[in-house]
Structure 1
């Protein structure tokens, strides 16, 4: 699988692994890095909820500006944040793109018998911005807070233990799954000479997908047995410890609460 499909798999896999491996900025001296992990988790979750509630493009753009401001204060390069947050909204835009034609409204463009409406374009833009801001907020939280501190914050916030287990295990063992996929692609490429066509690429992709599923299930069984052998039935006890909540922490929580309230009021105001 050395053609376009193979290169795409390698690129996407590398991007996903990089998304979950980015914790080096968590040690920087930034605004969110100095906050208590519980405060950061609650505030970012509230801002994401505000983005979900909004149905106005202007409000969504305000959330985007707020996210950019938090990234600036937290010493997170905007280019890096955009690079980590661009893939999901672009895919989402492609998924909802037909709504630009299906939704009724005033005609914006007529081309080859197809009418693009203003309401459809507005819906696609709003949906894309909302998804992009939500992903950017999640990326900002991961970039500025070590994952172990997030797990500790979830436990201290009395999040159900099974949910904490799911989050922790999923995060940790995604590395193994991505490594497994990269090894399969590398092994296939090492046995392939020349450039393969699209049909051969899809055939190889089906074979690799089947092998990957079987190896993933086998790895999951071994991981489960290893956890049970090491006392996996006990609740997680992370090493992270909460910091002292200060004035800036309360200010961040107040800002997030106000943003959610304002977003909800604008949404349900006629």
Structure 2
């Protein structure tokens, strides 16, 4: 089977001789125990083994002629074959018996027997609740004190019942054309509109004994020009308006 890769060192006498000696020693020891252990192989079992041997079959059936020819070619006869098979089967029985055997030390065996044969005596008394309770009364404060002292016994694992809706953003995203967006806006435009609101502010210039109408008009033109030049209306109102109620508020009327 090794072919060109054969390692001749593995076939040297120095390696094969110890292996052969060990095998012969084991075989001899096993044979010596056959008689002591009462191991035997029934002839019917040997016959079945022979008939099931593929080398002795033709088209899947046992052939006595083929068996005789094969045995003759190998230098065996039927008696030698049966003797060899019997030895092999008894050896297998011995190996299986040893491999499947177990042992226990005396201490373990005694302990196991004690456990198996162990018995216990138990005495008990059955009490009715009414007999024990009697006139016993427990106040609410005693119940509260017991609860506060042993509150950990009444805790349960925190649980939360939650309802939720899972929304897949990718599934909701659909391409929308600009025209469709504009049409939707126009259909809902009223929601985005609010009524027009205006705020009214003024700068009051009084016409009285200290200021004539012409003087008031001239001052008004100056105020208008300053506002056009960039001055803040609120600052002009605070500076010039003669309305004490709105001057400090930038002239705002509402």
Name the larger-Rg structure: 2
- Do they fold alike, i.e. is TM over 0.5? no
Using the size of structure 1 for normalisation, the TM-score is: 0.18
Which structure exhibits the higher relative contact order, with contacts defined as CA atoms closer than 8 Å and separated by 6 or more residues? 1
| Between structures 1 and 2, the one with greater helix share | 1
